Structure 1
């Protein structure tokens, strides 16, 4: 089960909003909108994606990792390493 199950509707709503923002940027480019205005919107999209990613990561830590650590064993170590790698990917972007 995914850790974000309880907040799935919120995550989907955020992603749909981001999708709309991306379509808006496509329209801006098609309409030759000023470069800085397009870049401002791209920055807003990046911020929205980061926010969504942090929400998903928080849910993963609170659910999947916490449950695995409570059970202990190899699965706990695997989940912690997995979370660490996910965090590393997020901070690289």
Structure 2
């Protein structure tokens, strides 16, 4: 029973080398997919990822809120399609 308590008190070691390598590879895939987006879609997605709300993005870019929402939706759809196509097992052999 003492060993269980000792193991529970150890800090979480975090992701191992394999998990870190996969995360790095996935980030590279996302970066490449973002680079392929039209500038308008990429900019709103990057601002959103940086923590800006849609109304704040509209203010920053000067685009109407509806346009920001549309660009986000289209950009996310395109990213999802590209990243799903690149996922292991997504393509037929």
TM interval, short-chain normalised: 0.3 to 0.5
The structure number with the bigger radius of gyration is 2
TM-score (norm 2): 0.41
Report 1 or 2 for greater relative contact order, CA contacts < 8 Å, sequence distance ≥ 6: 1
TM-score (norm 1): 0.41
Structure in which a larger fraction of residues adopt helix: 1
